[in-house]
Amino acid sequence: AAEKAGADGSKKFITSDLEHHGTVGAVARDAQGNLAAATSTGGINNKLPGRVGDSPVIGAGTYADNATCAVSCTGDGEFFIRAAVAHQVSALMELRGMSLSEAAERALAHAEKLGGTGGLIAVDKNGNVALPFNTSGMYRGHVREDGKFVIEIYK
């Protein structure tokens, strides 16, 4: 992205079609069934000073509840905050009886309807994993019950 001064002295930010995100997330379920989620991000390139993304906002980019699931999100933070995506996955499971996969897809679709792109990783109290995204790719990995590592980028 580049900054350009307008004729009236205002500043415009010119961005390329390729936006870079720097998010790393993890979700886990331990042997006792406790769930945890963590998200760290550098945000988007050339962000405006003072911008806060979804990662540090519990319920937007990160959420865990032993009764339902643990979720970590990446993407357009403003839309993930508005949709409370991470919490919405848990709420859809608890209040509507959805599976983790259904709830994760629905919550991500809500953010997309608002204009957001991105994805999430989630694990439920039974160890089921969901990894939906609405972008061309998302680096992700998980360990299956049989101990096999699964690492993917594209759909």
**H helical segments located in 36-125:** 77-83, 85-96, 100-114
Q: What contacts 98, CB < 8 A, 6 or more positions away?
A: 92, 106
Q: Does the annotation count 23 as an active-site position? A: yes
Q: Is 38 helix (H, G, I), strand (E, B) or coil?
A: strand
Q: Do residues 152 and 140 touch, judged by C-beta distance below 8 A?
A: yes
Question: Could you say which of 23, 68, 74, 117 is catalytic?
Answer: 23
* Residues that are catalytic: 23
